Amino acid sequence: MMRVGIVGVSGYSGLTAFELLLNHPQVRVTYATSRNSQGPLAEIWPRLKGRTNLICEKFKLDKALKLGDLFFLSLPHGASMGIVPKLLKARKRVIDLSADYRLKNALDYKKWYDLKHTDAGHLSQAVYGLPELYRSDIKKANLVANPGCYSTAAILALAPLCATHTDTISSIIIDAKSGVSGAGRKLADQLMFCEVHENFKAYKVLNHQHTPEINLYLSKLARGKINVIFVPHLLPVNRGIWETIYVRFKNRIQEKMIFNLYQKFYKTEPFIRLVPLGSQPQLRDVVGTNYCDIGFVVGERENILVISCVIDNLMKGAAGQAVQNMNIMGGFTETQGLL
Amino acid sequence: MMRVGIVGVSGYSGLTAFELLLNHPQVRVTYATSRNSQGPLAEIWPRLKGRTNLICEKFKLDKALKLGDLFFLSLPHGASMGIVPKLLKARKRVIDLSADYRLKNALDYKKWYDLKHTDAGHLSQAVYGLPELYRSDIKKANLVANPGCYSTAAILALAPLCATHTDTISSIIIDAKSGVSGAGRKLADQLMFCEVHENFKAYKVLNHQHTPEINLYLSKLARGKINVIFVPHLLPVNRGIWETIYVRFKNRIQEKMIFNLYQKFYKTEPFIRLVPLGSQPQLRDVVGTNYCDIGFVVGERENILVISCVIDNLMKGAAGQAVQNMNIMGGFTETQGLL
Amino acid sequence: MMRVGIVGVSGYSGLTAFELLLNHPQVRVTYATSRNSQGPLAEIWPRLKGRTNLICEKFKLDKALKLGDLFFLSLPHGASMGIVPKLLKARKRVIDLSADYRLKNALDYKKWYDLKHTDAGHLSQAVYGLPELYRSDIKKANLVANPGCYSTAAILALAPLCATHTDTISSIIIDAKSGVSGAGRKLADQLMFCEVHENFKAYKVLNHQHTPEINLYLSKLARGKINVIFVPHLLPVNRGIWETIYVRFKNRIQEKMIFNLYQKFYKTEPFIRLVPLGSQPQLRDVVGTNYCDIGFVVGERENILVISCVIDNLMKGAAGQAVQNMNIMGGFTETQGLL
Amino acid sequence: MMRVGIVGVSGYSGLTAFELLLNHPQVRVTYATSRNSQGPLAEIWPRLKGRTNLICEKFKLDKALKLGDLFFLSLPHGASMGIVPKLLKARKRVIDLSADYRLKNALDYKKWYDLKHTDAGHLSQAVYGLPELYRSDIKKANLVANPGCYSTAAILALAPLCATHTDTISSIIIDAKSGVSGAGRKLADQLMFCEVHENFKAYKVLNHQHTPEINLYLSKLARGKINVIFVPHLLPVNRGIWETIYVRFKNRIQEKMIFNLYQKFYKTEPFIRLVPLGSQPQLRDVVGTNYCDIGFVVGERENILVISCVIDNLMKGAAGQAVQNMNIMGGFTETQGLL
């Protein structure tokens, strides 16, 4: 039985991770913490009443080290890097759901998150927790940087192309739409019900912090520079990310060829589903699941491919993917607790 | 041309009042203030761009006195009573949208709003701004206490009965549901999108501050003590109040008789609409309007009357009613700017 | 391994039952039918892609008898009674999610559902599938009438009182609010997005078909006539039922006494959770779960008890409860597949 | 006083037009028709109770000709072309809100709407009702083809560029999102509340019937072939269209230069508002108004311009624009009834 600690259980990702692990036969959550809320977890999240007696505490290193083997850090950006080195030093394994270890360059981190990185030494050691690309590295990793929600959808939607067709792609535009839980559980004027409901808007246009993450991992795949145009929008739903991705090619393409390429690339992946040609995915088919659904339409005259990619931002975009990573790290069945 | 000042224009009621007055041919908003946001009103509310050049300022008494004849105070409870005496002293007319002058007893105010009333002297002078009951008093009033949103719906739904059938009523239960804008524009955990959307809950059960207001004015009508059971709920919509009211009678009643009673009582009222027997009102028929729609079903066997009453909480429940009061005070057509 | 057939898998309850059973270790869905949609289930419900290869067919009795041991009938009212006698005759066990076997009197059925009952002979044999009241009967039953969604919440909220305090209750009013999936998956003007979103309304006021069901089973408990006032409303959410229940007493009551009564009554129940005094349940704490959360506020002066009761209409209100019943019938752990 | 007939008043556009005209001092709606609903308009739309006594009838040509001077045809595609020739023959003026007269080529109409055009003779005479481009033609027109909702936003967002910078534009992608009322008031599985709420999806990808309309009028402006990539999505809100438009340039561009170009182009337009550089428009700022708000972000390194354009699909995208056209045709102040 693996003993798991969840650091930051009072946020939406922390709660989702906790609920997933409640039903996981091979792990037990033995430690849960929050900076803002302490006490019985079932009082912090009444949803959990009758399902757990765990007490949520303030994070204390010694207690963490004593109680846990592997830790989920479900913290705001900047908070993880204060804890990670200590956990690693004590030979604990860590899945960090924040952005702290996703980028590989401390200067990029500083530029996009406006914070000096205080643990740059571990950046190179962190494995990017996207199982479809880095499964074997994740297996051995002590530190997994769980991908951003937008990044997960974007990279999964583009990986097969970038790995094989870089030369013929002339541009990539990602028009992304996210449910509100993607912003985390925090007080903010623009996240109030009356500001979001019956409303819609773009934000951080061409300036979102997931852009360098997407570019970094797609470029690795492409063995060359990929530079996407990325525009996120706030969707008036609780959960789910939809990305409409426009890939312009230099030459002619065909739907069937694209579909086959993806089918082959993701052949053995348990959480990638390709939507049949002629139809489209939809948010609700993935909400509450760890699936990533992908659909294609080709405009033959314009050499354009329109990819629709959907995930649940709290599942495949955060906690679900973290559990998938944990399963790989622990040598469990990869879908355990996720189907 | 009456010159109107709106004190607290950065809230939802303040904005709604401003938009209504923009189209009112007999008044001009000459002064608008906010504690938190200053600058061009069209920047604070981009919705107003191209429609006004007014600059929103911090409230200054001398400027207010110079620029306005009548003032809308669209402030949180407790803030109005600091300003009202000064405006009245300068012989200005005031419509207070807060709760500060609705109750007639400073102790009740203290009990329900947990604030000492600092201007109790004006409580008796304030006229309750429900035109359907107090039109002639409003006409002459210098200080109008604009009713609470829940109270407006409750009192309008029950006034004809309380004025005529007190002796035969054995109990009144009000199950009220309000859209989120009823809570005002403020940061609060429980008003975040993810906490309200796809959710529903009761709050302040048997303990809401509009209860004494409803009881006070119904008791006046009844010339006896009315004591309602009042339970409010938060509805995942932006605007609108629905109240389901259960009136238990000591004797037999009939739908047609009730309908006729209301029809007669509200015969000349421009904003009260009775829904035909056999059908029900709905929120969206009144949203964006100053109407109050009322429907009836009688359970003959149980001597029970179920009244459905709907208003837009920002219109008949706040700013619309304030404009209606202003029209009466100013001697304008009562529906001016509201149809 | 119990072999389960789901008749009517293209509706929301049928889908929910299917998803629950996918994760149930002791049963396998071997047969699934729909009148309107045939073909791979994963095409009818893309959400199921990658999780099942089952083909959805038109119902054929002989095939059903060959493939299934126990059947979920997730059909519109009136359709079950054509199938049930044939399944029972072949010694199959049936959980009927429709209303066909809930009432015990064919005339009542005719009155409330406007249909002649064609299998009245089995009415007395059907066990009402509310485990908290009829667990031992369900265990042995061949035909379980799964309760209505509104009825489930109402009866669970009132059972402890009706079983013990009938003499002192003077009236019961149920103000119920349901998410839209409660109406089933059907085309109807009043269920279109634009007719429901940002709207709210009552329907079938004092005239809803769950009223006699609630009265029947509460009266049994009370060993006397219980007659509730029931008013349902349509809530702009997908899932969830909230009932605010007003119980008027003839004598004084106290919150603590009520709480203790319920605590004792539901002591060993796995799916009933009492909300601590001083707080309220909320829809989202039960959505996606089989829990029923109940909260209490007492108005001591008015001898009134306000009960708040919430369930997920597709779970404890339909498919979840059906699975709970199946677990009891099959001798499985009662919470299997439901936690 | 101009006498206006609204043909198709039971749809959302028809209702919106009617409500706008109720407050218009220079016109009177004298005739209103519907194929499906006849009787007092205030019964068909309870929202209108107390505001009109008009009776809605089935369309009869002779009565129409007797009662109206100008007609709004708010009909499904294919229905207008049966009526228009008769109205024009009788020298009535017509604003057609359907798609029947927007395209100029009967074959294109056949291709995109799958209907043979039965009044191709009037196609060339119809003036495209986008005041910002065709004001002087509209003034004299007898037949105005009111633009599609998506087309209005797209063309307004791109007109200044297409009129001046065609040579340097290398591609245009329009990622459009529409509220549900854009689909009209019709029964359809995919428009049911439970299918739309908490959901999101693309539809008619690269295949929407507004694409040729957008291309036609942009190409006219550009005096050359414009071919946009157009992908619409269904947004879970009642009203509003948001389009994110990606314009790729061959050369360097600057935000300030773009902003100035638009400012000059739309200098005197009463309903076009440019959002200050550095901020974004939002749906709710235009909902309920006839405004079109436009914002810009430039990616200098990628030579890309991201335009955000929002309108209310029922106002500037349908009925509001129709009233604007009527004002121009009637020689009224263009903003009359719209501010």
Q: How far is D193 from chain B (nearest CA, A)?
A: 13
* pLDDT beyond 90 at D120: yes
Question: For residue range C8-44, what is the model confidence (pLDDT) as tens digits?
Answer: 999 999 999 999 999 999 999 999 999 999 999 999 9
* pLDDT beyond 90 at B293: yes
Q: What percent of chain B has pLDDT over 70?
A: 100
Tell if the CB–CB gap between A194 and B237 is shorter than 8 Å: no
pLDDT band of C137, cuts 50, 70, 90? very high
Question: For residue range C298-309, what is the model confidence (pLDDT) as tens digits?
Answer: 999 999 999 999
Question: For residue range A109-168, what is the model confidence (pLDDT) as tens digits?
Answer: 999 999 999 999 999 999 999 999 999 999 999 999 999 999 999 999 999 999 999 999
Tell if the CB–CB gap between B192 and A187 is shorter than 8 Å: yes
pLDDT of residue A185: 87
Which residues of C have a catalytic role annotated?
149
Tell if the CB–CB gap between A302 and D227 is shorter than 8 Å: yes
Q: How many domains is chain D partitioned into structurally?
A: 2
Query: Quick one: CA dihedral D16, D17, D18, D24, positive or negative?
Result: positive
In terms of domains, do C191 and C302 share one?
yes
SS (H, E, C) D52-117: CCCEEECCCHHHHHHHCCEEEECCCCCCHHHCHHHHHHCCCEEEECCCCCCCCCHHHHHHHHCCCC
pLDDT of residue B184: 87
Picking from D193, D198, D234 by the largest number of A CB atoms within 10 A of its own CB, the best residue to mutate is D198
Q: How far apart are CA B140 and CA B326, in angstroms?
A: 11
Selection from A238, A216, A241, A235 nearest residue A227 by Cα: A216
Task: Tell me the pLDDT of chain A averaged across its residues.
Answer: 97
Q: How far is D289 from chain A (nearest CA, A)?
A: 14
- What are the chain D neighbours of A284 within 8 Å (beta carbons)? 198-199
Check residue D288 and report its DSSP letter: T
Sheet containing D229-234, strands listed edge to edge, beginning at the edge strand earlier in sequence: D201-202, D229-234, D169-178, D241-249, D304-311, D292-299, D272-274
Selection from D295, D162, D174, D163 nearest residue D246 by Cα: D174
Q: What is the CATH number of the domain that holds A112?
A: 3.40.50.720
Tell if the CB–CB gap between C191 and D191 is shorter than 8 Å: no
Q: How far is D193 from chain C (nearest CA, A)?
A: 4
Query: In this structure, is residue D331 part of a structural domain?
Result: no
Query: In this structure, is residue D132 part of a structural domain?
Result: no
Query: In this structure, is residue C32 part of a structural domain?
Result: yes
Q: How many residues does chain A have?
A: 339
- Report chain A's C-alpha Rg in angstroms: 20
In terms of domains, do C174 and C294 share one?
yes
Question: For residue range B14-49, what is the model confidence (pLDDT) as tens digits?
Answer: 999 999 999 999 999 999 999 999 999 999 999 999
Window 264-303 of B, Cβ < 8 Å to C: 280-284, 287, 297, 299, 302
- Put simply, whether D206 touches C (Cβ < 8 Å) is no
In terms of domains, do C179 and C281 share one?
yes
pLDDT band of B186, cuts 50, 70, 90? confident
Question: For residue range D197-225, what is the model confidence (pLDDT) as tens digits?
Answer: 999 999 999 999 999 999 999 999 999 99
In terms of domains, do C102 and C167 share one?
no
Residues 6+ apart with CB under 8 A from A116: A106, A110
* pLDDT beyond 90 at A186: no
Question: For residue range D299-322, what is the model confidence (pLDDT) as tens digits?
Answer: 999 999 999 999 999 999 999 999
Query: In this structure, is residue B145 part of a structural domain?
Result: no
Tell if the CB–CB gap between C289 and A23 is shorter than 8 Å: no
Query: In this structure, is residue D197 part of a structural domain?
Result: yes
pLDDT of residue D184: 87
Question: For residue range D90-109, what is the model confidence (pLDDT) as tens digits?
Answer: 999 999 999 999 999 999 99
Picking from C47, C52, C237 by the largest number of A CB atoms within 10 A of its own CB, the best residue to mutate is C47
Q: What percent of chain D has pLDDT over 70?
A: 100
Q: How far apart are CA D73 and CA D123, in angstroms?
A: 16
Question: For residue range C103-120, what is the model confidence (pLDDT) as tens digits?
Answer: 999 999 999 999 999 999
Query: In this structure, is residue B138 part of a structural domain?
Result: no
pLDDT of residue D295: 98
- What are the chain B neighbours of A180 within 8 Å (beta carbons)? 193-194, 197
Selection from D314, D243, D174, C198 nearest residue A233 by Cα: D243
In terms of domains, do A285 and A156 share one?
yes
Selection from D339, D327, D119, D134 nearest residue D216 by Cα: D134
In terms of domains, do D163 and D220 share one?
yes
Tell if the CB–CB gap between A193 and B185 is shorter than 8 Å: no
In terms of domains, do D115 and D165 share one?
no
Question: For residue range C252-297, what is the model confidence (pLDDT) as tens digits?
Answer: 999 999 999 999 999 999 999 999 999 999 999 999 999 999 999 9
Decide if A282 contacts D200 (C-beta within 8 A): yes
Domain that holds residue C80: 2-125
Pick from C46, C51, C288: which is nearest to A339 by CB? C51
Residues 6+ apart with CB under 8 A from B213: B99, B102, B103, B147, B148, B151
Q: What is the CATH number of the domain that holds C154?
A: 3.30.360.10
Decide if D13 contacts D146 (C-beta within 8 A): no
pLDDT band of B185, cuts 50, 70, 90? confident
Picking from B190, B205, B207, B301 by the largest number of C CB atoms within 10 A of its own CB, the best residue to mutate is B205
- Span B279-305, mean pLDDT? 97
pLDDT of residue B169: 96
pLDDT of residue A108: 97
* pLDDT beyond 90 at C185: no
Q: At what angle do helices A320-330 and A12-22 cross, to 10 degrees?
A: 50
pLDDT band of D274, cuts 50, 70, 90? very high
Decide if B247 contacts B305 (C-beta within 8 A): yes
In terms of domains, do A29 and A105 share one?
yes
pLDDT band of B171, cuts 50, 70, 90? very high
* pLDDT beyond 90 at B227: yes
Q: How far apart are CA C251 and CA A146, in angstroms?
A: 60
Selection from A262, A277, A271 nearest residue A289 by Cα: A271
Tell if the CB–CB gap between B49 and D273 is shorter than 8 Å: yes
In terms of domains, do B31 and B157 share one?
no
Pick from A47, A284, A285: which is nearest to C285 by CB? A47
- Put simply, whether B86 touches C (Cβ < 8 Å) is no
Query: In this structure, is residue A161 part of a structural domain?
Result: yes
Cβ neighbours, 10 Å, residue D220: 17
In terms of domains, do B172 and B36 share one?
no
ipTM of the complex: 0.97
- What are the chain A neighbours of B180 within 8 Å (beta carbons)? 193-194, 197
Query: In this structure, is residue D10 part of a structural domain?
Result: yes
Tell if the CB–CB gap between B273 and D49 is shorter than 8 Å: yes
- Put simply, whether C46 touches D (Cβ < 8 Å) is no
Q: Last residue of some domain: C125, C159, C189?
A: C125
- What are the chain D neighbours of A229 within 8 Å (beta carbons)? 246, 299, 302, 304, 306
Q: How far apart are CA B147 and CA B96, in angstroms?
A: 9
Neighbours of chain C (3+ CB pairs under 8 A): A, B, D
Question: For residue range B108-145, what is the model confidence (pLDDT) as tens digits?
Answer: 999 999 999 999 999 999 999 999 999 999 999 999 99
Residue B244: C-alpha distances to residues B212, C174, C201, D133, D170 (Å): 18, 11, 10, 51, 59
Q: How far apart are CA B311 and CA C293, in angstroms?
A: 31
SS (H, E, C) chain B: CEEEEEECCCCHHHHHHHHHHHCCCCEEEEEEECCCCCEEHHHHCHHHCCCCCCEEECCCHHHHHHHCCEEEECCCCCCHHHHHHHHHHCCCEEEECCCCCCCCCHHHHHHHHCCCCCCHHHCCCCEECCHHHHHHHHHHCCEEECCCHHHHHHHHHHHHHHHHCHHHEEEEEEEEEECHHHHCCCCCHHHEHHHHCCCCEECCCCCCCHHHHHHHHHHHHHCCCCCCEEEEEECCCCCCEEEEEEEEECCCCCHHHHHHHHHHHCCCCCCEEECCCCCCCCHHHHCCCCCEEEEEEEECCCCEEEEEEEECCCHHHHHHHHHHHHHHHHCCCCCCCCC
pLDDT of residue B79: 97
Picking from C199, C241, C248, C305 by the largest number of B CB atoms within 10 A of its own CB, the best residue to mutate is C199
Question: For residue range A27-85, what is the model confidence (pLDDT) as tens digits?
Answer: 999 999 999 999 999 999 999 999 999 999 999 999 999 999 999 999 999 999 999 99
Selection from B44, B47, B231, B48 nearest residue B154 by Cα: B231
CB under 8 A, 24+ apart: contacts of A163-166:
A163/A221, A163/A222, A163/A265, A164/A261, A165/A249, A165/A261, A166/A222, A166/A223, A166/A224, A166/A226
In terms of domains, do C104 and C209 share one?
no
Check residue D192 and report its DSSP letter: B
In terms of domains, do C197 and C263 share one?
yes
Question: For residue range D170-182, what is the model confidence (pLDDT) as tens digits?
Answer: 999 999 999 999 9
Which position has the token pair 């005096």? D223
Tell if the CB–CB gap between B193 and A180 is shorter than 8 Å: yes
pLDDT of residue D282: 97
Tell if the CB–CB gap between D185 and C192 is shorter than 8 Å: yes
- Put simply, whether A45 touches B (Cβ < 8 Å) is no
